[in-house]
Amino acid sequence: MSQEEDKFSRRWDVDTEEAIDADMLEAIPFQYPGSATEVTYLYPEFTSVCPWTGLPDFGELTVSYIPRDKLVELRSLKYYFNSFRNVGILQEHVVNRVKDDLVRLLNPLSLTVKARFRPRGGIVTEVQADFRS
């Protein structure tokens, strides 16, 4: 392989999805069940990496849900989001993984996860995954 070809075949090490720390998530009681309260969290500094190149993906995640009887504890949510930092995962898979992990933790009435990833090759990716009980 020539030096020119080699520089385009570089790849950084990436973690597998097993590095995503869903066990870090904690739930706390919601004192107003039945109130149809909508909770929204905006995380503007989400990072993961491309599973093929290891190059970083930067995005903004929005989680909106109507709790049944539990809320996610915010410190645990921040640590959970940061566990994606070196994980090789497709942008389209991030929202579904977050949705599944939060639904498992909270058993909400409804939950939506949206992501808007910064441009890569001139393309902005927006993804949404919904849960309704």
**110, β-bridge pairs:** 66, 132
Whether the pLDDT of residue 15 is over 80: the answer is yes
Report pLDDT digits (tens) over 24-66. 999 999 999 999 999 999 999 999 999 988 889 999 999 999 9
Cβ 48 vs Cβ 84: under 8 Å: yes
> What residues are paired with 39 via a beta bridge?
65
Dmax of the chain from CA atoms?
65
The SS3 assignment for 85 reads coil
What's the pLDDT band for 120 if we cut at 50, 70, 90?
confident
Residues 6+ apart with CB under 8 A from 82: none
Residues marked active site are found at 50, 57
**What residue has token string 């500094």?**
45
The confidence band for 121, taking pLDDT boundaries of 50, 70 and 90, is confident
Question: E-assigned strands of 13-122?
Answer: 27-29, 39-49, 56-66, 70-72, 110-120
Domain spanning 26-132 has what CATH number? Answer: 3.30.1130.10
- In the chain, what are the domain boundaries? 26-132
pLDDT attached to residue 6: 63
Give the model confidence (pLDDT) of 58-115 as tens digits. Answer: 999 999 999 999 999 999 999 999 999 999 999 999 999 999 999 999 999 999 999 9
Q: Which amino acid is at 56?
A: P
| Amino acid 21: pLDDT | 97
| Of 99, 106, 91, nearest in space to 129 by CA | 99
pLDDT score at 13: 82
pTM confidence score: 0.90
